Amino acid sequence: MTLEIYVMKNAIISIAAILSLLCAQVANAAQMKRILVLGDSISEGFQLKPSEAYPMLLAKKLRDAGLNLEVINASATGGTTAGGLERLPTHLKRKIDIFILELGINDAFRGIPVDQIQKNLQQIIDKVKARNPEVRIVIAGMQLPNYAADDYVSAFGKMFTDLAAKNGAALVPYLLDGVAGDPALTLPDGIHPNAAGQKILAENVWQTLEPIARGL
């Protein structure tokens, strides 16, 4: 075998190996399912590293459980339901298998009527379903202080249950359960979860998300 043939043979083998690896990576990417989280500062991880926010903690839980799902955190500080509607189209260009919706509390802080908040959330869900008919929806419920103390507060809390029932969605009853009001689990503002609080949020969502992810 001449040197030229030997070099050419090795080059062909190397190219074949690289192509095989690339094909495997493409196939793996095609098989990977996708979770989109659309939320506000709670889901974004206000003043925390992206890796400390509960969506990325969920990504780790999924990996540890051997579940091949990518988590995309499309949350934004100050996010409202109207803002979510505006931001959503960019994230509908790729297939979504599970959609986690966490919006509404900033609307409530601004005194937006509950009917309007619910209408916006329903439009978001409808748009996601229109592009992804088989998508599984997870709604992260929120509550205002003094839950059930007045009509607005009560209606706001009930809204998430109604949305879940109407859309056949899974419900996280109260995303901040175990965190809200605990200074050890929130930032100095007393509202946003700190890194320890985000771990509890991840557990709250995981209880609902895990069986859905395993069933895909």
Residues with a catalytic annotation lie at 41, 189, 192
Query: Would you tell me how many other CB atoms lie within 10 Å of the CB of residue 52?
Result: 18
- Distances from the Cα of 192 to the Cαs of 39, 111, 142, 188, in angstroms? 13, 20, 13, 8
Secondary-structure percent of the chain, ordered helix, strand, coil, rounded to 5? 55, 10, 30
What's the token pair of residue 76? 């934004």
d(CA 101, CA 26): 29
d(CA 91, CA 93): 6
d(CA 198, CA 186): 9
Q: Is 110 helix (H, G, I), strand (E, B) or coil?
A: coil
Contact 201, 176 (CB under 8 A): yes
d(CA 166, CA 200): 28
